[in-house]
């Protein structure tokens, strides 16, 4: 009997340990970051660098009302149970408001709710807006071994619903925190507005679409502000660098945005994107300018849709002339003579005229 009781006590102890282990493991997020065993907290300085210049992205570059700029940065450190945004998936109402209007209130409430209900968010961080396309802003973030993923958004201003950001970047690698993470950033479409250009009016996408990456050929439409069909891929429009802080700072003062004027360098040189000239279709031919019955000329015109830049293909001729002869003739209708009518005959070149010109009819 005593042995039986000992066995029961052992089984009870093992069961307690098993339940404890299971309850602890259930708190761990499911995914790659579940294996993170890095000690303590991972503290980082995150620096966002805008590289949106007129040299790199010359097509329809916004110069005023408003000029090219970046919204404030809003992000969170979290587990795999939370997703701020994800490519090929639908965005939340909060991300929609942020991507379209730069309003962060709804997104903040969503992050807070996720942190309270499933404890999937460890911290929230933000950085100041950049009032130009080129510049830098920074702040600090804090990650935990069970919340080692980083996500953030920065809105492209002006734009319909375009943004840059990262989705669930892991700062942990096994039993250690990564010392530095640097990523080039490219534009995304939130799928809530159907505008093609930076300054497009509000035009809601119904039904809502998923998040898609904007490339040099997609959307495949000449009106698209990022449409550069001769490029295999777009140059990066921004960059983010996260550097681990080895010693905790007592007080952190957010760095004000640094605006870099054209001609200065930001970490590396800006690439030049060639922009080819775009012209309209030809107009209709005008009337012949020569006297009646003699060789004259007529012309047609076209205009420039888009001026070339950065050694792109120059504009072709905008006016074209061709030889033309006009004369008047009378037409008979049921024995009655109508009024004279002007008739034109076109020739490719006055020097190629070999046939005699038609005579004026009575």
Question: What DSSP string runs through 132-192?
Answer: SSEEEEEEEEEEBTTB-EEEEEEEEES-SSEEEEEEEEE-EETTEE-SEEEEEE--EE-SS
**HSE toward the beta carbon, residue 139, CA cutoff 13 A:** 15
What pLDDT is recorded for position 338? 52
Helix H or strand E encompassing 323: strand 319-329
Of 152, 141, 209, nearest to 178 by C-alpha is: 141
Of 57, 17, 33, 266, nearest to 156 by C-alpha is: 57
Q: What are 298's strand-pairing partners?
A: 322
φ, ψ dihedrals at 195, nearest 5°: -65, 145
Instruction: Please list, in sequence order, all residues whose beta carbon lies within 8 angstroms of the beta carbon of residue 246, skipping any fewer than 6 positions away.
Output: none
Cα 144 from Cα 43, distance rounded (Å): 9
What pLDDT is recorded for position 360? 46
Q: Are 304 and 268 in contact (CB under 8 A)?
A: no
Q: How many helices (H) and strands (E) does the chain have?
A: 3, 20
pTM: 0.69
What pLDDT is recorded for position 355? 45
Instruction: Please list, in sequence order, all residues whose beta carbon lies within 8 angstroms of the beta carbon of residue 302, skipping any fewer than 6 positions away.
Output: 279, 280, 281, 282, 283, 318
Instruction: Please list, in sequence order, all residues whose beta carbon lies within 8 angstroms of the beta carbon of residue 135, skipping any fewer than 6 positions away.
Output: 49, 50, 70, 257, 258, 259, 260, 266
Q: Which tokens go with 333?
A: 């209708």
What pLDDT is recorded for position 293? 65
What pLDDT is recorded for position 248? 57
Instruction: Please list, in sequence order, all residues whose beta carbon lies within 8 angstroms of the beta carbon of residue 174, skipping any fewer than 6 positions away.
Output: 35, 36, 37, 38
Q: What long-range pairs does 271-274 form, CB within 8 A, spacing at least 24? A: 271/55, 271/56, 271/235, 272/55, 272/56, 272/310, 272/311, 273/55, 273/56, 273/57, 273/58, 273/228, 273/231, 273/235, 273/310, 274/230, 274/308, 274/309, 274/310, 274/311, 274/312, 274/313
Per-residue pLDDT of the chain (362 residues; tens, 9 = 90+): 555 445 445 545 444 433 343 333 334 444 444 579 999 999 999 999 999 999 999 999 999 889 999 999 999 999 999 999 999 999 999 999 999 999 999 999 999 999 888 789 999 999 999 999 999 999 999 999 999 999 999 999 999 999 999 999 999 999 999 999 999 999 999 999 999 999 999 999 999 999 999 999 999 988 899 999 889 999 999 999 999 998 755 555 555 666 554 433 344 555 677 777 777 888 888 877 777 667 778 888 887 777 777 777 888 888 888 887 766 555 455 555 555 555 555 555 444 444 444 444 44
Which DSSP symbol is given to 270? Answer: P
What pLDDT is recorded for position 167? 97
Cα 159 from Cα 62, distance rounded (Å): 10
What pLDDT is recorded for position 271? 67
Cα 340 from Cα 331, distance rounded (Å): 7
End-to-end CA distance of the chain: 138
Helix H or strand E encompassing 85: none
What pLDDT is recorded for position 16? 46
Instruction: Please list, in sequence order, all residues whose beta carbon lies within 8 angstroms of the beta carbon of residue 304, skipping any fewer than 6 positions away.
Output: 277, 278, 279, 280, 315, 318
Residues in the chain: 362
What pLDDT is recorded for position 169? 97
What pLDDT is recorded for position 287? 79
What pLDDT is recorded for position 258? 61
What pLDDT is recorded for position 335? 52
């Amino acid at each position: 009997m005593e042995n039986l009781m000992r066995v029961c006590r052992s089984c009870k102890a093992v069961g307690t340990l098993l339940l404890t282990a299971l309850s602890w493991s259930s708190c761990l997020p499911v995914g790659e970051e579940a294996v993170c065993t890095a000690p303590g907290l991972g503290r980082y300085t995150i620096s966002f660098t805008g590289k949106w210049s007129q040299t790199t992205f010359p097509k329809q570059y916004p110069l005023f009302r408003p000029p090219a700029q970046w919204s404030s940065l809003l992000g969170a450190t979290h587990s795999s149970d939370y997703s701020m945004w994800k490519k090929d998936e639908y965005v939340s109402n909060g991300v929609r408001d942020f991507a379209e209007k730069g309003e962060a209130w709804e997104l903040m409430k969503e992050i807070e709710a996720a942190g309270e209900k499933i404890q999937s968010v460890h911290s929230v961080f933000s950085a100041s807006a950049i009032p130009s396309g080129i510049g830098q802003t920074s702040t600090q973030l804090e990650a935990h071994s069970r919340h080692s993923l980083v996500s953030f958004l920065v809105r492209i201003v002006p734009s319909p619903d375009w943004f840059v950001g990262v989705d669930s970047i892991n700062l942990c690698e096994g039993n250690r925190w990564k010392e530095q993470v640097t990523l080039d950033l490219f534009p995304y479409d939130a799928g809530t507005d159907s505008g093609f250009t930076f300054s497009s009016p509000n035009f809601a996408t119904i039904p809502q679409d998923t998040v898609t990456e904007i490339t040099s050929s997609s959307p495949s439409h000449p009106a698209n502000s990022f449409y550069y069909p001769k490029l295999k891929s777009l140059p990066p429009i921004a960059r983010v660098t996260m550097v681990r802080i080895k010693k905790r700072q007592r007080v952190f003062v957010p760095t004000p945005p640094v605006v870099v004027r054209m001609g200065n360098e930001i970490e590396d040189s800006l690439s030049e994107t060639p922009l080819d000239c775009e012209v309209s279709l030809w107009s209709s031919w005008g009337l012949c300018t020569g006297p009646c019955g003699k060789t004259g000329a007529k012309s047609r015109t076209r205009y420039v849709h888009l001026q070339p830049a950065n050694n792109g293909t120059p504009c072709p001729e905008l006016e074209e002339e061709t030889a033309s002869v006009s004369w008047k003739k009378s037409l008979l209708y049921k024995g009655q003579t109508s009024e004279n009518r002007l008739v034109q005959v076109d020739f490719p070149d006055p020097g190629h005229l070999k046939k005699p010109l038609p005579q004026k009819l009575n």
